[in-house]
Structure formats: C-alpha cells, structure tokens
C-alpha cells in the first residue's frame, strides 16, 4: 500500500493538529493527511496520538476522528 485512501470513508474528520482543531478529508492515511493539511511530508516529524511514528508507517496508518497530531517541520540551516 502506498498511502492515500483507506477505502470506503467519505466526508471530513476533525483532528487536533499542533493544538488546533483542523478538518481534513476522511478515509486518508497519515501521509495523505499531511499533504491535505499543507505539509511537505519529507520535511516533518510526526507524533501521532502521543507516539513518534516512523515515516515508513505513515502510508499504512489510518487517521480517524479525534486523532491528535503534533507536526514538527525540520528546518535546515547553520552558522
């Protein structure tokens, strides 16, 4: 499975993302939810319901109503 739709679900979900209520399409796996919310998945780390979720699990991780995401964007730089 490459992520995207989990199948059969329609409508919107209400999630908590970085402490704020956010809506996204229902029936998506985590990688697709991140894109729907405007994130670039290759540049973020995700805590999913209190657990740091490895990137290789995102395409198979369904997201359902009331899930809690903390999304941290990785920023390059230095001095």
Return the ∠ at Cα 41 (arms to 72 and 4), rounded to 5°: 130
Domain count, the chain: 1
In a domain, 1, yes or no: no
User: What is the per-residue pLDDT for 54?
Assistant: 97
Q: Model's pTM, two decimal places?
A: 0.82
CATH code of residue 49 = 3.10.20.30
pLDDT 10s digits, 15-58: 999 999 999 999 999 999 999 999 999 999 999 999 999 999 99
In a domain, 5, yes or no: no
C-alpha 52/C-alpha 39 separation (Å) is: 17
In a domain, 26, yes or no: yes
In a domain, 4, yes or no: no
Mean pLDDT of 3-18: 73
């Amino acid at each position: 499975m490459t992520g995207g739709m989990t199948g059969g679900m329609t409508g919107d979900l209400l999630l908590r993302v970085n402490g704020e209520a956010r809506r996204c399409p229902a029936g998506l796996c985590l990688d697709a939810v991140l894109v729907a919310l405007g994130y670039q998945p290759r540049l973020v780390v995700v805590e999913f319901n209190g657990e740091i979720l490895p990137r290789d699990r995102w395409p198979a991780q369904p997201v359902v109503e009331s899930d809690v995401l903390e999304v941290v964007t990785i920023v390059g730089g230095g001095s």
